[in-house]
Amino acid sequence: MPGAGPLTGRRSVLPRVLGDRGKECIRELFALTWFSRVWVLQEVGLATTATASWGDSSIDFGQIAVFVYNVFTEEDLKFFLGPELSATLLGSPLYALWNVWSTYEKKDSWMQRTPTLRRFAEGIISSCDVDFTLVLEAAQHFNATNSLDYVYAFLGHPKAKKPGTDTTWLQADYSLNLQDQHRLLASSLAEDSLNFLAHLQQTEESLKVSGYPSWVPQWGEKHPIHAEAFWEAWDASLRKKERRQYPSKSGGVKLSISGLIIDTVDQSTPTMKPDDFEPIDWAGARLIEDCWKLATQNPHAYPREKVIDAFASTLICDHRRPGHSAVELFSGFCMHADIKFFKNMETTGGGLWDLGIVLEGSEAFGTQFKWYGTNRRFFRTKAEGLWGLGPAAMQQGDVCAVLFGADVPFVLRPTGVKGEYKVVGECYMYNFMYGDAVLAWREGSNSYTKEDIVLV
């Protein structure tokens, strides 16, 4: 039934397990300022053992971390806690667990001795490129008295060192102003990769009047229209596969790099806001229909047998991993939500899927679509009719590019000066996430050319 919660049709044991005051106690615990202070991250992350004490009670800290993990992975638990409390746990506690504590790779830590957390950490390390950019992503979810500490508090992390050296990406210097600190860190990180650009949170206003260069993130800031960053699982410029560094040069407010300009943005949907996805069954289905109408109103680049895969993959920023395909997950969601237009779609492979896939797809696809689609736009390009999921601040006339040294494509805005662009934000583009454009360019099988690009 559209709008029904995940507990509909079956009884939950959560009320009995957590008791009458369970939710209130959880709310009080995670409202403690300890969970939002940036300096506590390395204090716990570097510990061999960790015990949490609250009043006269104490508990192995690993059990608190496991609870945070369960809120992230279990829809039943999120539904029971409610959206407000779930959002609290999926803020600073989750980012502490995912981006910081799971990435220390300390063999004898409390993380490694807790089976659930050990498997979680191993999964992150095996599927993601764990670097300082990933660690820094946590900064925007915490508080610090001195804004410089949104960077300096992370310099004790092993990934804060330049690869193969004992030198950190930036030396602590409290005489710097905030903009200079951010610019120096961005310039330093650019020596290794451009993935830090995924941390940018541009708005229409910031692209017009901000005093910051468009390529310099404001670490520690979280804008209300924040979209979850992604870059860890892809390799758009073949940086990871070929284990190479691409030259970049920073000078003042400019960063000189190179890349392939793919196409120009033509049309896009309105920004998909958080409330637009609630409840996911029917609201998510309505958003999908809006994206489908835009995708198919003009000729597109995808052959008939790849249309549904391209569309579904774009909506959930699909990446290559074991398990069900994007088409299967999409089909499960559509069948569950009873989207009328799905009856006229032909999927790769054809036929019917078993009930298990349908039920799992209805939940997994909706969760991923909401995660990646929130505060983003579905768009299509002008010349080639390509589809993508891009930043809220994008507009007609922006260009899509694969930047050498970045693991995902980006949307750039021409400034009017030849070769100069502002960075609007990252994007997902089907068939561009694993070096496809770079390989085709090298083979001369497309019209892309390598261009010198100056980010301002």
- Reply yes or no on whether the pLDDT at 4 is more than 70: no
Query: What pLDDT score does 305 carry?
Result: 87
Mind listing the pLDDT tens digit for each residue in 419-442? 999 999 999 999 999 999 999 999
Q: Which of 107, 127, 147 is at the close of a domain?
A: 127
Asked if the structure places residue 122 within a domain, the reply is yes
Asked if the structure places residue 2 within a domain, the reply is no
Asked if the structure places residue 237 within a domain, the reply is yes
Distance CA 130, CA 134 (A): 6
- What the block records as the tokens of 258 is 């190179």
Query: What pLDDT score does 293 carry?
Result: 92
- Reply yes or no on whether the pLDDT at 412 is more than 60: yes
Mind listing the pLDDT tens digit for each residue in 166-203? 999 999 999 999 999 999 999 999 999 999 999 999 99
- Reply yes or no on whether the pLDDT at 2 is more than 90: no
Query: What pLDDT score does 280 carry?
Result: 80
Asked if the structure places residue 408 within a domain, the reply is yes
Mean of the pLDDT values across residues 329-348?
67
| Whether residues 123 and 136 fall in one domain | no
Mean pLDDT of the chain: 88
Among 35-39, 99-103, 221-225, whose mean pLDDT is lowest?
221-225
| Whether residues 349 and 421 fall in one domain | no
| Whether residues 410 and 423 fall in one domain | yes
CA 271 to chain centroid: 16
| Whether residues 248 and 147 fall in one domain | yes
Name the amino acid, one letter, at 170. L
Mean of the pLDDT values across residues 72-79?
86
| Whether residues 22 and 160 fall in one domain | no
pTM, two decimal places: 0.88
| Whether residues 262 and 138 fall in one domain | yes
Q: Which positions ≥6 away from 243 have C-beta within 8 Å?
A: none
| Whether residues 73 and 151 fall in one domain | no
| Whether residues 178 and 279 fall in one domain | no
In this prediction, residue 222 has a pLDDT band, given cuts at 50, 70 and 90, of confident
| Whether residues 99 and 161 fall in one domain | no
Asked if the structure places residue 381 within a domain, the reply is no
Distance CA 324, CA 386 (A): 24
Asked if the structure places residue 3 within a domain, the reply is no
Asked if the structure places residue 7 within a domain, the reply is no
- What the block records as the tokens of 257 is 């790099």
- What the block records as the tokens of 318 is 């699909």
| Whether residues 332 and 347 fall in one domain | yes
- Reply yes or no on whether the pLDDT at 362 is more than 70: no
| Whether residues 277 and 261 fall in one domain | no
Distance CA 4, CA 6 (A): 7
8 A C-beta contact, residue 455 and residue 258: no
Q: Which range, 98-102, 119-123, 163-167, 411-415, has the best average confidence (pLDDT)?
A: 411-415
- Reply yes or no on whether the pLDDT at 60 is more than 50: yes
Q: How many domains does the chain have?
A: 3
Mean of the pLDDT values across residues 145-167?
94
Q: Which of 127, 150, 170 is at the close of a domain?
A: 127
Query: What pLDDT score does 337 carry?
Result: 74
- Reply yes or no on whether the pLDDT at 257 is more than 50: yes
β-strands 249-251, 254-268 pairing: antiparallel
Mean of the pLDDT values across residues 79-94?
91
- Reply yes or no on whether the pLDDT at 278 is more than 50: yes
Range of the domain at 151: 132-266+391-455
| Whether residues 365 and 397 fall in one domain | no
Among 81-95, 276-290, 355-369, 387-401, whose mean pLDDT is lowest?
355-369
Q: Which of 332, 349, 374 is at the close of a domain?
A: 374
Name the amino acid, one letter, at 409. P
Asked if the structure places residue 326 within a domain, the reply is yes
- Reply yes or no on whether the pLDDT at 8 is more than 80: no
